């Protein structure tokens, strides 16, 4: 028996993929990659350069030019990982409201996704990786040995987002956050390129009412099943 080499965790916005994925990777000693953070970094770069979210050609060039690095936490401020954009720490900047508003639109650009997927597959080829996103099990790593689809109701996800922001001293009305999550669900599920959906062979984990520890335990119990050789 052998341990799995690649673990794909997908799910909608606010389902806890990043938190659970990072913890799973830490427990197993695997590399962690949040692909959503990569798209957020591109969105942040576009905003800072005043690139129109509808300008696919410029966005494609930008996606291939910027240097995005995701690694272990470098600051003890509640982050699950550290994101660098061209060498600068943007871990919390990519979670800003203005990024929330445009990231799904930018992630729909085929050339942007192509640039990101190329990097993601190169990292996964080394094995021992936990990769989270919205199309990992269906598009990026269709042959991943473990596929988890982590989900929760929109109301639960809005509540968690509100608490996450409050912990950082930011306050936004829950109805506003809920509307934002529902809008992103709609965009992500109906985009032409790599729409959000559970892979046919994914294991569904619904986390409503679960603590982080409970959700982690459930996911670990699924991914730690040895692979027959």
Structure tokens at 219: 């996911």
- Measured N-to-C along each axis, helices 17-28 and 212-223 cross at an angle, to the nearest 10 degrees, of 60
Q: Which residues contact 17 (CB under 8 A, 6 or more apart)?
A: 9, 10, 11, 34, 36, 132, 133, 150
- Residue 228, pLDDT score: 57
pTM: 0.82
Percent of the chain exceeding pLDDT 90 equals 63
Alpha-carbon gap, residue 182 to 155, rounded angstroms: 9
Q: How far apart are the first and last CA of the chain?
A: 6
Alpha-carbon gap, residue 98 to 117, rounded angstroms: 24
- Is the pLDDT reported for residue 106 higher than 80? yes
Q: Which of 70-79, 146-155, 166-175 has the highest mean pLDDT?
A: 146-155
User: Mind listing the pLDDT tens digit for each residue in 22-34?
Assistant: 999 999 999 899 9
Mean pLDDT of 62-87: 89
- Is the pLDDT reported for residue 178 higher than 70? yes
Whether the Cβ atoms of residue 91 and residue 83 lie closer than 8 Å to each other = yes
More confident residue, 186 or 1: 186
**Domain ranges, ordered by start, for the chain:** 6-223
More confident residue, 85 or 164: 85
Bridge pairing between strands 146-151 and 203-206: parallel
User: Mind listing the pLDDT tens digit for each residue in 43-64?
Assistant: 999 999 999 999 999 999 999 9
- Residue 229, pLDDT score: 53
Which pairs with CB-CB distance under 8 Å and at least 24 residues apart come from 208-211?
208/152, 208/153, 208/156, 209/156
Give the CA distances from residue 135 to residues 73, 131, 143, in Å, rounded to whole numbers and listed in that order: 25, 10, 12
- Average pLDDT value over all residues in the chain: 90
Q: Determine whether domain 6-223 maps to CATH 3.10.129.10.
A: no
């Amino acid at each position: 028996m052998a341990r799995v080499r690649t673990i794909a965790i997908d799910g909608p916005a606010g389902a806890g993929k990043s938190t659970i994925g990072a913890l799973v990777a830490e427990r197993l000693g695997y590399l962690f990659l949040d692909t959503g953070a990569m798209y957020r970094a591109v969105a942040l770069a576009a905003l800072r350069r005043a690139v129109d979210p509808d300008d696919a050609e410029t966005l494609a060039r930008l996606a291939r030019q910027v240097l995005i690095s995701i690694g272990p936490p470098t600051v003890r401020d509640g982050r699950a990982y550290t994101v660098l954009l061209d060498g600068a720490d943007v871990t919390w900047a990519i979670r800003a409201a203005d990024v929330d508003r445009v990231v799904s639109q930018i992630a729909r650009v085929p050339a942007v996704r192509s640039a990101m997927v190329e990097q993601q597959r190169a990292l996964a080829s080394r094995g021992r990786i936990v990769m989270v996103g919205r199309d990992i099990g269906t598009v990026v790593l269709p042959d991943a040995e473990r596929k988890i689809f982590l989900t929760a109701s929109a109301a639960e996800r809005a509540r968690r987002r509100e608490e996450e922001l409050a912990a950082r001293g930011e306050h936004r009305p829950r109805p506003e956050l809920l509307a934002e999550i529902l809008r992103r669900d709609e965009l992500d599920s109906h985009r032409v390129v790599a729409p959000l959906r559970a892979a046919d062979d994914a294991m569904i984990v619904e986390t409503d009412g679960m603590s982080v520890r409970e959700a982690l335990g459930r996911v670990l119990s699924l991914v730690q099943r040895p692979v027959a050789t």
